[in-house]
Structures are given as C-alpha cells and as structure tokens.
Amino acid sequence: MGAKSVFTIEKDGSLFRINPDSGEWKRLGEAGDWANTIVGIATYGYLFTIESNGALYATNANTGVKLRIGKAEFASTQHLFEAAGKLYSIEKDGSLYETSEADGNRKR
C-alpha cells in the first residue's frame, strides 16, 4: 500500500481500497461486510466504522480484518473524526465524545 489510499463502501456493502496513483481497486474482507455502516474514517492504518446497530469496528487497511471494539453505544453518531491521535464522535443531539481506539470506552 502506498502512502495514501482511498476507501469506498459500495451499495452492496463491499469495502474497497483504491490506490490513487494507479487507480487499482482491491476488495478488503468479504462482499457485504460493511452493508450496515453509517459513518467511518481511515486513520493510522485502520478504517474505523460505526454500524447501524451502534457497534464500533476497526478494520485493518491492509488485510481487511474487522474487529468490534467496546459496547454497541454509537447508534446516534453522525460524525466520526480523528484529532491529535484520538477518535471523536458527534451525536445527533450535538454531544461530543472522545473514544479510546483500544477498548471503545467513551467519555464526554
């Protein structure tokens, strides 16, 4: 994988890593594995996603291995972003949470 990649989740729920230099697409994981994704961000070699059931996942950007992190308490998340080495979410009611990437624990 080059210095930068672009990720896309297709209508069928398939995740692809795209090399912007060559235009090559590579499927990560199984077709349909990301069908319930509501928001995501790529950072530090992982794609962090939240699914409609409220679960947070970290997917290895090289292998496509997807691991659930913490409790399923993210269903109201509208935005997910990284800043200063931390993962943050903004909920539908405007609440801001800082989340530990290691264990999924959240704090306001």
What string of DSSP letters covers 13-30?
A: S-EEEE-TTT--EEEESS
- How many CB atoms within 10 Å of residue 48? 22
- pLDDT of amino acid 103: 63
- pLDDT of amino acid 102: 63
- pLDDT of amino acid 3: 54
Predicted model pTM: 0.85
- pLDDT of amino acid 4: 81
**Measuring CA to CA, how many Å separate 30 from each of 64, 79, 99?**
8, 25, 27
Mean residue pLDDT across the chain: 89
Written as six digits, the tokens of 20 are 């912007």
Low-confidence ranges of the chain (pLDDT < 50): 1-2
- pLDDT of amino acid 84: 84
Q: Which domains does the chain have, with CATH numbers?
A: 6-107 (2.40.128.630)
- pLDDT of amino acid 2: 47
- pLDDT of amino acid 1: 43
Give dist(CA 75, CA 67) in Å, integer.
17
Closest CA to 34 of 21, 53, 51: 51
